[in-house]
Structures are given as C-alpha cells and as structure tokens.
Structure 1
Amino acid sequence: MALFIRDPAVDALAEEVRRLTRAKTKTEAVRNALEKQLAQARRALPVRDRLARALALADAMGPSDPSVDMKAWTDAMWDDR
C-alpha cells in the first residue's frame, strides 16, 4: 500500500531528512527514519515484554529434542575450524 504525504510540513520534514542523511529518495529517508524509530521503541519496551516476545518465538519453534547432545554438536562445529 502506498503512503502519500499530503501535509506540506511533513513533506518538508521528509525532504530535509533526505537531504541531511543523503538518502537518494524521500522514500528511502522515510523508511530509514521509521526503522530507526521502531528500533528505538522496541528498545524502550520493558524487559518483561521483550522477554515475552522471545519466549513466544521459542515456543513457536516447538519442543526441543532431548536426544540431541548440544555439547557434542557445538564441539563438532568448532573442531571443523
């Protein structure tokens, strides 16, 4: 879905960010600014919320296989160096 900037003040801000960051386009400047803002907002989340997200990702992976010897597997990875 396209994002149209209809507000002249917001358009001017996007252009200034583009110019100062040397982005090739306003789209690139807006994307970079939004990604940085999103990363900052995620870092500001309480540890409990960040941990809940990590635990949900781990749960989505499913249960671990108790027959896997992680030490042997890790040692084998390092022995190949």
Structure 2
Amino acid sequence: MPLHIRGSETTEAVRRLAQARKLTLTEAVKTACEEALARDEAKQPVSERLAAVHARLRAARKTGESADKAFFDREWGE
C-alpha cells in the first residue's frame, strides 16, 4: 500500500534521516515511526505497560504446584 507524504518539510526530514543513517526512504520512515512509538511507550507508567501481563497472570489457572526451591530446581533440571 503506497504512502504519499505531502509537505516539503516532512519529505526533507525523511531524506535527511535516510542519508544520515544510510537507509532507503522506506526504512527511514519505518525507523522514525518505530522510534517514536518506543519513546511514547517508555513514557507510559510501568503499571500501564505491565497491565496486560498482570491480566494474563490473573487469568491463568492454578496448578496446585508449590513454587519452592525443589520446584525451581526441577524446572531448571537441577
């Protein structure tokens, strides 16, 4: 799916990034987007970033296993 960028300032910024990092224009756009998303994610509180993990753990069925030293030794093959 083609992406049409309108705006000479935006086009120039993508070209400068591509040239500075020796990337194609497509790679430059992808890199810029991924880095911006990573920065946004890093700004979220840890509790929000871990919410999905916590929800999965709460939903997991109980095994009845005891998580003591013997359990972990057995899991690690010791």
TM-aligned CA distance change 1:57 to 1:35, over 3 Å: farther
Letter in 2 for 1:65: T
Q: Does 1:63 align with 2:28?
A: no
Alpha carbons of structure 1 residues 70 and 14: separation in structure 2 relative to 1, 3 Å: farther
Aligned to 1:4: 4
> 1:2 and 1:72 mapped to 2: Cα distance?
57
Tell me how large the CA RMSD over aligned residues is.
Answer: 2.5
Between 13-22 and 2-11, report the one with greater CA deviation.
2-11
In structure 1, distance between residues paired with 2:41 and 2:13: 24
**Which amino acid letter does the alignment assign opposite residue 43 of structure 1?**
A
With normalisation by structure 1, the TM-score equals 0.68
CA distance in 1, matches of 2:4, 2:37: 20
Deviation at 1:4, TM superposition (A): 1.4
Count of equivalent residues: 77
Q: SS where residue 31 of structure 1 aligns?
A: helix
Residue 12 of structure 1: CA displacement?
A: 0.8
Percentage identity across aligned positions? Answer: 30
Query: How far 1:20 sits from its partner (Å)?
Result: 0.8
Match status 1:35 vs 2:47:
no
SS at match of 2:41: helix
Unaligned runs of 5+ in 1: none
